[in-house]
Amino acid sequence: MTDERSRVCSACGAPLALRSRYCTRCGAGVPDEPSDEVLLRGVRRLRVADDTVSLPDLLMLVETGVAHWRKQLDQAEGVARVEAAAAIKELSRILESLADQVAQGRETVRITRRPPAKRGYAAPCALCGRGNRTGAKYCIACGNPLRPGAKEAAHVPPPLSLDLAARTDIGMTRNVNEDTIYTGAYSNADGPIGTLLIVADGMGGHAAGDQASQLAVATVKQKLRLALEIGVPKDDEQWHALLRQVAADANQEVFSAARDVGVRGMGTTLTVAVVTDRRVHLAHVGDSRAYLINTAGVSSDGSTWSQLTTDHSLVARLVDIGQLTPDEARVHPQRNMIYRSLGTDPTVEVDAVSHALAAGDVLVLCSDGLNNHVEDAELAAIVLAEPDEDRAAERLVALANERGGKDNISVLIARARA
């Protein structure tokens, strides 16, 4: 393993501090260490290393999907039986392709899409992470000097304010809304801390997916409140550790509750965002999503939106390796098969990441009932075109229902203002 103390900035050659995110000499971003694996249920693992995925492990996961739908085919009737047959046909095609590659001696295949990148600009600020134009001497967001030897900044800008909207809808086909959402402010004896946003999409249908999502959200709120009363994290790493811990606590609560016969097998996704000062700290499990949107762009290529979370789903990995197109994945009958969730195993791997925020940024958290029907570009266009957050949320939910509303639909919108 490379000694982190020996790392240097790829842009200017300056030594990098332990776990630094930005070079303090030139402000260049420091790449995150690549993740070497993605956990599956039980002891099996889907390897993702050096932008490759293990073919035998992926083959095993697809075989599990085929077995699941064959069981559904034996038990289902009518439309559900047709859906199961279609899923088996599609997965069998993919299974044959993967098996051929394994038979040819291939052990891994290169993925075609990296996980969502952090916000990137030509001149990111080493203090707050906000992007700046090439040649800028001081950060546009916090006033921090961007060049060695520059005079110290005269002030630090105040925290951003957030305009919030939240909507959850049962959709057009479900009998129960298994989604749970929450927005609220946190403070302690020293004053305000930040704003918490949560989306949890319960799984299990009659096995009480709604109970799973409610229990997860309640646990996160309680554990986070107790932790923040003791002390507020001082940096990104401490926030990541805290959010991973409260997510792990929520996982244990749901896993323990799911031992009861009446709710056995229940689980939930979990996407948590804490906005404090000019940063957002995220924790994520499953296939609910978080987006960052800004009409001024959120990356160096000028894109107005970026998905901040990675879907822990089978179809997302099949898109990665070119077995499915994004359009095919959107309508694939196996799109709801996720390999990581809260409550299905005694422990769970939790993604955690932080991003700088600036005035004009919009955070959107949603369940897959929205993004299954509304494309990312459409979602961003509606949020940017509608200045009223409540109206934007209503329009997004209405559009998802108009296109079928096959699942519960939840969306949280937080617009940052100076």
Q: What angle, rounded to 10 degrees, do the helices at 209-230 and 236-257 form?
A: 140
With contact defined as beta carbons under 8 Å apart, do 151 and 388 qualify? Answer: no
Alpha-helical runs (H) found in 347-388: 368-371, 376-385
CA distance 331 to 210: 24
CA distance 69 to 67: 6
Region 215-227: what's the mean pLDDT? 97
- Burial-class residue 155 by CB neighbours within 10 Å (0-12, 13-18, 19+): exposed
User: Is the model's pLDDT at 40 over the cut of 50?
Assistant: no
What pLDDT was estimated at residue 317? 74
Contacts of 242 (CB under 8 A, 6+ apart): 224, 227, 233
* Amino acid of residue 324: L
CA distance 148 to 28: 13
What pLDDT was estimated at residue 103? 74
User: Is the model's pLDDT at 22 over the cut of 60?
Assistant: no
CA distance 407 to 179: 10
CA distance 344 to 322: 28
**Confidence tier at 155 by pLDDT (50, 70, 90):** low
With contact defined as beta carbons under 8 Å apart, do 270 and 198 qualify? Answer: yes
**Confidence tier at 129 by pLDDT (50, 70, 90):** low
What pLDDT was estimated at residue 119? 46
Which stretch of 148-157, 161-170, 196-205, 210-219 has the lowest confidence by average pLDDT? 148-157
Q: What is the 3-state secondary structure (H, E, C) of 27-88?
A: CCECCCCCCCEEECCCCCEEEEECCEEEHHHHHHHHHHHHHHHHHHHHHCCHHHHHHHHHHH
With contact defined as beta carbons under 8 Å apart, do 298 and 376 qualify? Answer: no
The chain-wide mean pLDDT, for the chain, equals 80
pLDDT tens string 309-332? 989 887 877 777 677 777 777 777
Report the run of H or E that residue 93 belongs to, with start and end: helix 78-103
Nearest Cα to 206, choosing from 179, 181, 176, 180?
A: 176
pLDDT tens string 250-261? 999 999 998 887
Which carries the bigger pLDDT value, residue 117 or residue 150? 150
CA distance 124 to 29: 7
**Confidence tier at 300 by pLDDT (50, 70, 90):** low
What pLDDT was estimated at residue 173? 93
What pLDDT was estimated at residue 1? 34
User: Is the model's pLDDT at 361 over the cut of 50?
Assistant: yes
Region 244-273: what's the mean pLDDT? 92
The alpha carbon of residue 391 and the mean position of all alpha carbons in its chain are separated, in whole angstroms, by: 24
The alpha carbon of residue 387 and the mean position of all alpha carbons in its chain are separated, in whole angstroms, by: 24
Nearest Cα to 282, choosing from 340, 199, 339?
A: 199
User: Is the model's pLDDT at 291 over the cut of 80?
Assistant: yes
With contact defined as beta carbons under 8 Å apart, do 88 and 74 qualify? Answer: no
Q: Can you tell me whether residue 217 is helix, strand or coil? A: helix
User: Is the model's pLDDT at 116 over the cut of 70?
Assistant: no
Which carries the bigger pLDDT value, residue 392 or residue 90? 392
With contact defined as beta carbons under 8 Å apart, do 197 and 414 qualify? Answer: yes
CA distance 76 to 86: 13
Beta bridge partners of 236: none
pLDDT tens string 376-413? 999 999 999 999 999 999 999 999 999 999 999 999 99
pLDDT tens string 44-54? 345 555 456 67
Beta bridge partners of 35: none
What pLDDT was estimated at residue 67? 76
Region 55-64: what's the mean pLDDT? 74
User: Is the model's pLDDT at 307 over the cut of 60?
Assistant: yes
CA distance 187 to 249: 21
pTM given for the model: 0.71
What pLDDT was estimated at residue 55? 72
Radius of gyration in angstroms for the set of CA atoms belonging to the chain, rounded to a whole number: 22
Which carries the bigger pLDDT value, residue 12 or residue 400? 400
Nearest Cα to 197, choosing from 375, 416, 38?
A: 416
User: Is the model's pLDDT at 32 over the cut of 70?
Assistant: no
% of the chain residues with pLDDT over 70: 72
**Residue in the block written with tokens 């559900």:** 80
CA distance 359 to 361: 6
Which carries the bigger pLDDT value, residue 91 or residue 37? 91
Which carries the bigger pLDDT value, residue 72 or residue 187? 187
* Amino acid of residue 236: D
pLDDT tens string 94-111? 777 777 777 777 676 655
Which stretch of 118-122, 165-169, 286-290 has the lowest confidence by average pLDDT? 118-122
